């Protein structure tokens, strides 16, 4: 999964589920778009869907401080690379 694919998928999800249109990649989602903990859980479920596997407790803990779309994309990219390294 490329960075561009991750970004496209995350932006589509935010648009569809939270009606967030054209967010800045470094906007604080919690402050600017009222993104709360329930929204974060939905996002983690979507990330699991994107990765086609469940996140570990440690991976979920790492996601707690994510606030921007760039950070979300970094996180997904990092988790995907880690899984790729273990699988092959």
Q: What is the DSSP string of 16-39?
A: HHH---S--TTS-HHHHS---HHH
> Other C-beta atoms within 10 Å of 8: how many?
12
> Other C-beta atoms within 10 Å of 13: how many?
18
CATH superfamily of 3-87: ACP-like (1.10.1200.10)
Per the CB < 8 A criterion, the answer to whether 70 and 26 are in contact is yes
pLDDT tens digits, residue range 46-60? 999 999 999 999 999
User: In this structure, what DSSP letter does residue 68 have?
Assistant: S
> Is residue 58 exposed (0-12), middle (13-18) or buried (19+ Cβ within 10 Å)?
exposed
- For the chain, the structural domain boundaries read 3-87
The model's pTM: 0.91
Give the chain's residues under pLDDT 70.
87-88
- The pLDDT score that the predictor gives to residue 88 is 61
């Amino acid at each position: 999964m490329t960075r561009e694919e991750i970004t496209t998928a995350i932006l589509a999800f935010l648009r569809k589920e939270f009606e967030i249109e054209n967010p800045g990649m470094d906007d604080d989602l919690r402050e600017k778009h009222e993104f709360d903990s329930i929204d974060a859980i939905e996002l983690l479920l979507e990330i699991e869907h994107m990765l086609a596997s469940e996140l570990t407790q440690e991976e979920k803990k790492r996601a707690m401080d994510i606030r921007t779309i760039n950070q979300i994309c970094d996180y997904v990219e990092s988790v995907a690379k880690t899984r790729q390294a273990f699988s092959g």
